[in-house]
Amino acid sequence: MKPLLITIDGPAGAGKTTVSRALADRLGYAYMDTGALYRGVAREMHVRQVDPEDEKGLAWVLGDLDLRFVRRDGDLRLLSAGVDITGEIRNPEITMLASAASARPEVRCALLALQRRLGAEKSAVFEGRDMGTVVFPDADVKFFLSADLHVRARRRYLELAGGQEVSIEQVEKDMQKRDANDAGRSIAPLKPADDAFHIDSTSKSAGAVVDEMMVVIRDVAGR
Ligand code: DC
């Protein structure tokens, strides 16, 4: 099969991460979690006490930005200036800051170039919000994965439940707010590309979603 660039966009909790990883494994492709890059920027903002409205502060953070993915023991790790920050980017504070930061044009612009460099070789599955619409409008196969808000909140709650004290109601509220931020921002809002294949994962297992995607990918690859 010729090398393909595959994009998976959709709201938080739709199952993008699980599905993207499994799909990349099945294809022997690299997996790229672009949300982690926005979270990486948010982590640097947090460390330097820069808020999303602070233009000078953002320029300072972005001027020094040095984010890199590495694979360790089959896991995707995010390094910032060589330091592994993977364990720091999923807490609720960084999550909300990443959402606010992702509405800033200068942040999106800085990450656009980085993401396109990462995609230059193809043979990759990119997960995010604007992969098929803005970053890779010429991607070979585009998916848009969605699910009901309740189901998404429950999935995220179960993921978080190990380490953090949050209620499912709070997770759902935060998710709704983030959905509104992501879909309502003027620059690169969350929306399906015109040529994306839509999959609703509300009542489907990750395996079933990946199977469905593989059918589409084989069809495209065979053309
Ligand atoms: O997928 P995630 O929850 O890790 O993403 C973190 C934040 O980054 C989320 O609020 C949306 C934003 N994001 C984005 O704007 N564009 C992307 N391609 C990926 C994520």
Q: What is the pLDDT of residues 126-138, one digit of tens each?
A: 999 999 999 999 9
Q: Residue 122: is its pLDDT beyond 70? A: yes
Nearest residue (by CA) to ligand 1, atom 11, is 99
Query: Residue 133: how many CA atoms within 13 Å on its side-chain side?
Result: 15
The pLDDT of residue 166 = 84
Q: Residue 26: is its pLDDT beyond 80? A: yes
Contact by Cβ (8 Å): 201, 19: yes
Cβ < 6 A, ligand 1 pocket: 12, 34-35, 38-39, 98-99, 102, 128-131, 178, 182
pLDDT tens figures, 176-189? 998 998 899 999 99
State how far the Cα of 72 lies from the Cα of 52, in Å rounded to an integer: 31
What mean pLDDT do residues 203-217 have? 97
- Least confident range from 28-42, 178-192, 202-216: namely 178-192
> Biggest alpha carbon distance in the chain?
51
The pLDDT of residue 101 = 96
The pLDDT of residue 76 = 92
Q: Name which CATH class applies to 5-221.
A: alpha beta
- Taking the CB of residue 98, how many other CB atoms lie within 10 A of it? 26
The pLDDT of residue 92 = 86
CA of 131 to the centre of ligand 1 (A): 11
Nearest residue (by CA) to ligand 1, atom 10, is 99
End-to-end CA distance of the chain: 11
The pLDDT of residue 137 = 98
What mean pLDDT do residues 66-85 have? 94
Distances (CA, A) of 191 to 22, 132, 145, 220: 23, 9, 10, 22
For the chain, which residues make up each domain, given as ranges?
A: 5-221
DSSP 87: G
CA of 140 to the centre of ligand 1 (A): 22
The pLDDT of residue 164 = 66
State how far the Cα of 60 lies from the Cα of 18, in Å rounded to an integer: 34
- Taking the CB of residue 172, how many other CB atoms lie within 10 A of it? 18
